[in-house]
Amino acid sequence: MKTINLPKILTIKWLKDAYERNRLKPNEVINEIIQRVDNDREMNIWIVPPAIKHIEFYLDRLENMNPNDTPLRGIPFAIKDNIDLINIPTTAGCSKYIYTPNENATVVQRLIQAGAIPLGKTNLDQFATGLVGTRSPYGETHNALKPELISGGSSSGSAVSVARGHAVFSLGTDTAGSGRVPAGLNRLIGLKPSFGAWPTKGVVPACQSLDCVTLFTHELDDAILIDTIVRGIDKTDPWSRDIPRQLSSISILPDKICLISDPSIEFFGPYTTEYQLGWQKTIKRIQHLNIPIEYIDGHDL
């Protein structure tokens, strides 16, 4: 197998440029990803890992795609295993629940139509309930940066797959933090769109009035591009809403940040010193950005 120079931090811009300059081909990228997944199998990132037999169809169809009409042509992505991918089992982290869908979730279908390549299904806290990444019969998903630490959840495998260079981006879900906590713990961008902005048809529900499909990337530009592709109402989805994106109305920095007052802060476990240093560095970063800090008493939270 040909060895290729594929960075661990994968972005849409970098990969598209490599394709356009004929430095890489999509099948070479997929083969390298499959090798990376095999090397990381003890990380418990995947439930249905990438396999050529599942991906070949999507590679073959790239030849007939116009790059001008397919902004994600050849871009590989991972899917949390509570989001449907046609003909691939959905488990939601529970083997007793398993079913094989005969159509894609709306968000998956829109990404595929844009040329993206679905790789497989990633591990999660069972039924997307949990913020730790340890509540899965398919194994505890380990942190991408420090495997001895938790990955965060419930979209554990989706976050770690991107952080470990298995995918350019991945889909997760978020009902109460599942798409943002693992992003923070694995040094990623975690985008949770406004409720209803991305259709949830084809997603195993946790709480339908709160569920959102979310996104993990390395760069904000990638998240913005994917949002333009996926956002939009699905008339077959009763929870879908028409919510135009209004980036120009969003303030770059908040008016203030509320933090727990120092006497209320306690850290525990073998990494207490690292946590304290991280907290102090965060405060200094906020101060460097000239964002006002309001300290609050955390005992009542």
The set of catalytic residues is: 80, 154, 178
CA 230, CA 77: separation in Å to the nearest integer?
14
CA 278, CA 284: separation in Å to the nearest integer?
10
Residue with tokens 């709480």: 207
Rg (CA), the chain: 20
Nearest to 122 by CA among 180, 82, 94, 95: 82
Torsion sign, CA atoms 181, 209, 80, 4? negative
What is the SS3 assignment for 122?
Answer: strand
CA 26, CA 62: separation in Å to the nearest integer?
9
Cα distances (angstroms) measured from residue 223 to each of 2, 15, 36, 226, 280: 31, 15, 23, 5, 29
Burial class (CB in 10 A: 0-12, 13-18, 19+), 107: buried
- 269 forms beta bridges with none
Nearest to 216 by CA among 193, 240, 191, 197: 191
Q: What is the DSSP letter of 243?
A: -
Main-chain phi, psi angles of 120, to 5 degrees: 170, -165
DSSP 12-40: HHHHHHHHHTTS--HHHHHHHHHHHHHHT
